Amino acid sequence: MIPLSNATLHQLPVQVTTPRYNRQETTAGIAHLGVGNFHRAHQAMYINKVLEREGQQGWAIVGVGLRNSAREDKRAAIMAEQDNLYTLTTFTPDSSHETSVIGSIIEYVHAAKDRAAAIKRLTDPDIKIVTLTITEGGYYLDAKGNFTLDHPDIKADLARDVPETAFGLVCEALRQRRESGTGPFTVLSCDNLRHNGKVARTAFCTYATARDPILGTWIKENVSFPSSMVDRITPSVGEADITRLDALTGVADQMPIFAEDFTQWVIEDHFCAGRPELETVGVQFTDDVGPYEQVKLRMLNASHSMLALPGVLMGYDTVPHAIADTLLLGHLERFLTEDASPFITPPKGLSLAQYAQEVLHRFRNPAVGDQLLRIASDSGSKLPVFLTDTVNGVLGSGRDHWRLAFGTACFLEYLRGTTDKGTPYTITEPAINAEQLALARAEDLAAGLQMTVFAGWNLKDHPNFATDVVKLRQSIRAQGTHKTLAQHAG
């Protein structure tokens, strides 16, 4: 196999598509914070296509790694060794595949090693857009959607001369750009949050105002925060996946990624410093992302959670394995059509029934075996985003709430950290502290519903829902998740 670098691009197997532009002639116009697999399979892929177009060579990406961890150290080292190149292999549901080398990330900054250097990079006048994938839980929001200035991470960051959080880095860079006359850049959130542009605006402006009220006002008046909706199923990549992908492609890539062939990006067209011609490579621009966002978050993302939580308890490991269970498939079909769809206003021309079937079709893709435990992780941040509107709609209209109660019971049981057969697994819930976790694990099976995860569900007005959640938890413990679902699914 051929090691991946600029020097070897012309030696790669013919079935591997390489960048159709001269990387040496590109410059970075975008900085991306949080360079994970999704960004590399999604936004970086779109920019890779844009760079092939005439006059677009100023829109390459400088990646900014935020975390101070061994994993981030390794990523930075590999990016340097491979000249920031990597392979993306996409699979169709029939397992046919295409592999491309993505060259749009032309520089990588390991911010944890030098925060001041990262800030300086963001002050470059060529940087016109800063994009973010910092996860749903990375915006420090309370139950009411306010940015929590009293969070220990934020309090510590505000006290530092050189900030370390995403909010600190961006706001300090904007302060320096303001003082030098460089001007603002657009901040574009690519995270799965309702109204993510408004959320980002609230978070960054609140942080900036706490640090310097004059800066906060300048950001409010000059920086644009468009909303966006992103969609592509991109599993995590383990060592076995690396071996498999490299054998498939014939490229010795130390951090290949794979994804489904489906991809979508919808963006509010509001950029204060210009933007690339993304509409020429399949990105949809609109005045209102909301309808697209509703459909994706409340159908695809919610279905992922409604599948992953019981699936983990049942002992399944991937989405295709779980969806092959006809009981879980039927459960999701009814959730999509009877619970979620009635309370969604879709974009003009989009059929919710067709979208629901497409979601289930995507989940069946055997080559994209996304891990259930990865999807279940950070449910403390995800469930309020994915399910709150549906729960309020179902409970407020008096419709059958059983599937939502079952999903809630599965979430609380998932927090115990063992499958129905007693096999332990590691839960990753950064938004759930020890006090909140204790509620989920209390002997009183109703105590978990006091968690802040459910703050927007108005459960005090619906005691029958709480009663059913307790009964379902009792049933799951007594006879398992699968039998519990089988008894009630009809």
3-state secondary structure the chain: CEECCHHHHHHCCCCEECCCCCHHHCCEEEEEECCCHHHHHCHHHHHHHHCCCCCCCCCEEEEEECCCCHHHHHHHHHHHHCCCCEEEEEECCCCCEEEEEECCEEEEEEHHHCHHHHHHHHCCCCCCEEEECCCHHHHCECCCCCECCCCHHHHHHHHCCCCCCHHHHHHHHHHHHHHHCCCCCEEEECCCCCCHHHHHHHHHHHHHHHHCHHHHHHHHHHCCCCCEEEECCCCCCCHHHHHHHHHHHCEECCCCEEEECCCEEEEECCCCCCCCCHHHHCCEEECCCHHHHHHHHHHHHHHHHHHHHHHHHHCCCEHHHHHCCHHHHHHHHHHHHHHHHHHCCCCCCCCHHHHHHHHHHHHCCCCCCCEHHHHHCCHHHHHHHHHHHHHHHHHHHCCCCHHHHHHHHHHHHHCCCECCCCCECCCCCCCCCHHHHHHHCCCCCCHHHHCHHHHHHCHHHCHHHHHHHHHHHHHHHHHCHHHHHHHHCC
Instruction: Tell me the backbone φ, ψ of residue 444, rounded to 5 degrees.
Output: -75, 105
Tell me the C-alpha distance between 376 and 379, whole Å: 6
Contacts for 488 with CB less than 8 Å, ≥ 6 apart? 402, 406, 472
Rounded to the nearest 10°, the torsion over CA 275, 278, 284, 285 is 20
Beta bridge partners, 286, equal 268
Count CB-CB contacts under 10 A for residue 181: 7
Spatial CA neighbour of 169 closest among 114, 221, 224: 114
**Beta-strand relationship, 186-189 and 228-231:** unpaired
pLDDT digits (tens, 9 = 90+) for 98-136: 999 999 999 999 999 999 999 999 999 999 999 999 988
pLDDT, tens digit, 9 for 90 and up, residues 186-198: 999 999 998 999 9
Give me 54's structure tokens: 């005439």
* CB of 272 closer than 8 Å to CB of 223: yes
pTM of the model: 0.91
Is residue 143 pLDDT above 80, yes or no?
no
Mean pLDDT, residues 352-362: 96
pLDDT of residue 93: 87
Which pLDDT score is estimated for 428?
Answer: 96
∠ Cα 284 337 475 (to 5°): 125
One-letter amino acid at 400 equals: D
What is the band of 150 on the pLDDT scale with cuts at 50, 70, 90?
Answer: very high
Candidates 243, 320, 323, 236; CA nearest to 38 is 236
- The Cα 225–Cα 432 span in angstroms is 28
User: How far is the CA of 312 from the CAs of 263, 474, 483, 489, in angstroms?
Assistant: 26, 17, 15, 18
Q: Please give the distance of CA 346 from its chain centroid, rounded to a whole number.
A: 21
pLDDT above 70 as % of the chain? 100
Residue 418 CA to residue 314 CA, distance in Å, equals 10
**Residue 35 is encoded by which pair of tokens?**
């360079």
Q: Does residue 490 have a pLDDT over 70?
A: no
CA distance 348 to 288: 12
Q: Tokens at residue 211, please?
A: 């640090």
User: In this structure, is the dihedral angle defined by the CA atoms of residues 38, 42, 47 and 48, taken in order, positive or negative?
Assistant: positive
Contact between residue 191 and residue 157 where contact means Cβ atoms under 8 Å apart: no
Strands 264-268 and 228-231: antiparallel
Helices 166-180 and 152-159: crossing angle in degrees, nearest 10, is: 30
Measure Cα distances from 166 to 94, 131, 157, 158, 252 in Å: 40, 11, 10, 12, 33
Q: Is the pLDDT of residue 317 over 90?
A: yes
Q: Residue 83 and residue 74: Cα distance in Å, rounded? A: 14
Q: What pLDDT score does 488 carry?
A: 82
**What pLDDT sits at residue 265?**
98
The two structure tokens encoding residue 26: 């590109």
Tens of pLDDT along 405-458? 999 999 999 999 999 999 999 999 999 999 999 999 999 999 999 999 999 999
pLDDT tens per residue across span 199-241: 999 999 999 999 999 999 999 999 999 999 999 999 999 999 9
